[in-house]
Amino acid sequence: MNTFETAHMDRDDRPVEECGVIGVSSPAGEQTAQLAFFGLFALQHRGQEAAGIAVSDGHRARMHKDTGLVTHVFDAASLAPLAGYHAIGHTRYSTIGASSAQNAQPFLLETMHGTLALAHNGSLINAAELREELLQRGFGLTATSDTEVMALMLAAASGKSWEDRLERTMPSWKGAYSLVLLGVDSVVAVRDPWGYRPLSVGRLVEGGYVIASETCALQTLGCVEISEIAPGEIVTIRGDEITRRRTPPAVTGGAHCSFEFVYFSRPDSEWDGRSVHAVRQRLGERLAIEAGVDADVVIPVPDSSIPAAIGYSRQSGIAFNDGLIKNRYIGRTFIEPSQSLRERRVAMKFNALAENLVGKRVIVIDDSLVRGTTAGPLVKLIKDAGATEVHLRITSPPVMHPCFMGVDMGTYDELIAARLSIDELCRHVGCDSLEFLSVEGMLAAIGSQNGYCTACFTGEYAIDTTALRLSARKAGVIS
């Protein structure tokens, strides 16, 4: 979303997700933290800045968290003390709250109701107001994350159980959230009434249950009987027991994030009952129908655009091939001391396969064009490799508006399609033609014209963001 406190130095031309969450409850209590670790590893694509796991043995809670990738934060020595029947975990990309150790999750508190740990994927648009209310009530906040605000509100809520306190507190939370809560003897999960972020639950064959942001993590752990947690639903897992409590969904209807299909989710996940991989192929097919062009080869920008390029090739009859090879070991880097080195970033991430490009009219399939920092260098790379024409095709509509629901899209000033027409974008990027998929085409590929958030394309938000946008405008964040 619009990030007021964080300024990353190396933003790619991609929107960035906030977090992944995992929750595990086992009747045997064996290797619960290890299961959470493997689940977080499967969710690493959702956040690479920090990771953490909290466990409870029924009497006390323990936690380990730090900045870095999951495999950097955890090893055998750090996992060994995390013994218990119940565990939650988190892998983080910062939106609200700076990228720092103090904002790493889960948040662990001792409350009058007992131990509470919380991990959260999403963003509250009214977090600043809620934080101010807590400060006025005398609460001491140690971090700048909206997750801490949610944890403190739950700690202060009345009710006989965490489920009761969640249900009473949820109406105060405006925005996107899929969260897992660790109590002394259970894991509780909830999804916001609009259903912005994904969340699913599955049963472990050896006993117990797992809750995760994506089904790919549940499949990694061998779960069966996988089902999606409904918008507004509260799910409790306690060993072999699972209970589900429905709360009213949003009166404005569902607002599932369409970018989960376009880019965020792993292709082997299911989201809203649909295969992500299959939807991405249909996005490519629709793009070929809407924006066909004579060419010799279709190539993807790896990796997320591969299924769409296959779909485009299949629909158009133009051969699919690899044209770019990605260095998958290039992650975030904050050591870029000069403009010349920043300009080499694309070359660090991609090499061109000249033998598949030389003398060819090339269609390049990419999933999004957000800040416009990557497309131009990629087009130049392909032309330098010998392509005679480069036609850029994008499997999402132009991103014209910021996201306020937990996705780091950028500000209006950063969103290049908000400033330039498609013809101007084409000249800016240096390609021979440029086309985007329409909103209607994207929704047709997903399989529903309703229930999805398209605010970053249309500016039509399911939740009133007027106050937040006015605040951002006053701060000079948006124009």
Residues with active-site annotation:
19
Pick the closest to residue 12 from 413, 409, 393, 425 (CA basis): 409
SS3 234: strand
Q: Give strand ranges (E) for 416-473.
A: 433-436, 452-453
Given a contact cutoff of 8 angstroms between Cβ atoms, the answer to whether 163 and 189 are in contact is no
Given a contact cutoff of 8 angstroms between Cβ atoms, the answer to whether 454 and 411 are in contact is no
Given a contact cutoff of 8 angstroms between Cβ atoms, the answer to whether 65 and 51 are in contact is yes
Alpha helix positions (H), 117-188 = 127-136, 146-156, 162-169
Pick the closest to residue 281 from 305, 248, 317 (CA basis): 305
Pick the closest to residue 462 from 265, 251, 160 (CA basis): 251
Would the CA dihedral through 355, 360, 363, 369 be positive or negative?
A: positive
Helix, strand and coil in the chain, % to nearest 5: 30, 25, 45
- CA distance to 172, 201, 204, 346, per residue, from 242 (Å): 26, 10, 12, 47
Given a contact cutoff of 8 angstroms between Cβ atoms, the answer to whether 229 and 181 are in contact is no
Report which secondary-structure segment, H or E, holds 420.
Answer: none
Question: Two tokens at 37?
Answer: 């670790």
Given a contact cutoff of 8 angstroms between Cβ atoms, the answer to whether 64 and 89 are in contact is no
- Distance CA(235)–CA(243), nearest Å, equals 6
Buried b (16+ CB within 10 A) or exposed e, 28-47: ebebbbbbbbbbbbbbbbbb
Q: Give strand ranges (E) for 102-230.
A: 107-111, 114-124, 175-182, 187-191, 200-204, 209-212, 223-228
SS3 436: strand
- Using alpha carbons only, how large is the chain's radius of gyration in Å? 22
Question: Two tokens at 380?
Answer: 């130049």
Residue 243 forms beta bridges with which residues?
A: 236
- CA distance to 8, 67, 114, 133, 199, per residue, from 102 (Å): 17, 9, 22, 21, 25
